[in-house]
Amino acid sequence: MTSTDGTRRPSAPAADETPLARTRRARRINRTLAERYPDARCELDFRSPFELLVATVLSAQTTDVRVNLTTPELFARYPDPATLAAADPEEVEQVLHPLGFFRAKTRAVQGLSAALVERFGGQVPGRLVDLVTLPGVGRKTANVVLGNAFGVPGLTVDTHMQRLSHRLGLSTSDDPVAIETDLGALVERAEWTMFSHRVIFHGRRTCFARRPACGACPVAGMCPSYGVGELDPQKAAALLKG
């Protein structure tokens, strides 16, 4: 495909793409992103399922970097669900203050810690059906914990995954559960966790919300939204992060 200015553009998937073609394209995207981001991983620091669960809950409306700066003190003071559940809320709030919404986050992590003690013997359960019963824990958080702490494949539909699933033409839904279902039907189950990491890395480093770096995108030729961002290769490369 050639634009009016003579620039060669990758050809986008056809609008009438068949389910089989979409599945094959989704898997090619996954393989290509694996090459682009070989270090894709969970960017929250943790040493146990409990630490990852708490860190994921705390990451709402803030950055992973900020959470990683805050959790060492939190876990040094309160290393397990029992100690965090029994802690003085004001003291927990002081630790969590840098994250913003620290009162709500204190209630959330103390509430889920109390539930772990009362209903699961102080252990983080390894099943989604149990995790989502904890206060403040939805499917996104549960899948993060399952995929990264227990090795159970899970698709994490955060804001990056939702945005990119639309841009890449892999889902048209705005409902995270429906997006999870759509992606789960396209990508091999064993790849769910790593696919999530790769897409999130791509959203943070290349396919930005406001000005994606289309001209430096490794999956441009498989993306029906190619052209919504910067097309010039040099200008696009300058936008890349990480």
Split at pLDDT 50, 70, 90, the class of 6 is very low
Cα–Cα distance for residue pair 30/199, rounded to 1 Å:
8
Residues of the chain with CATH 1.10.1670.10: 19-40+154-239
* Each residue's pLDDT tens digit, 59-89: 999 999 999 999 999 999 999 999 999 999 9
Q: Give the whole-number percent of the chain exceeding pLDDT 70.
A: 94
Residue with tokens 């929250």: 44
Cα–Cα distance for residue pair 210/215, rounded to 1 Å:
15
pTM listed for this prediction: 0.90
Give per-residue burial for 68-85: e unless 16+ CB within 10 Å, then b: eebbeebbeebebbeebb
- CA 214 from chain centre, in angstroms, equals 21
Is 158 an active-site residue?
yes
> What are the Cα distances from residue 132, in Å, to 46, 51, 85?
20, 17, 18
Residues of the chain with CATH 1.10.340.30: 49-123
Cα–Cα distance for residue pair 142/88, rounded to 1 Å:
26
Exactly one of 140, 175, 232, 235 is catalytic; which is it? 140
Long-range pairs for 131-136: beta carbons < 8 A, 24 or more residues apart:
131/53, 134/53, 135/108, 135/111, 136/57, 136/108, 136/109, 136/111, 136/112
Could you give the angle at the alpha carbon of 138 between the alpha carbons of 83 and 80, nearest 5°? Answer: 15
- CA 193 from chain centre, in angstroms, equals 9
**Which pLDDT score, from 0 to 100, does residue 110 have?**
98
Exactly one of 5, 158, 174, 175 is catalytic; which is it? 158
Token representation of residue 101: 């919404």
**Which pLDDT score, from 0 to 100, does residue 20 have?**
97
Is 241 an active-site residue?
no
Domain 49-123 has CATH 1.10.340.30: yes
The fold of the 19-40+154-239 domain, in CATH, is Endonuclease Iii, domain 2 (1.10.1670)
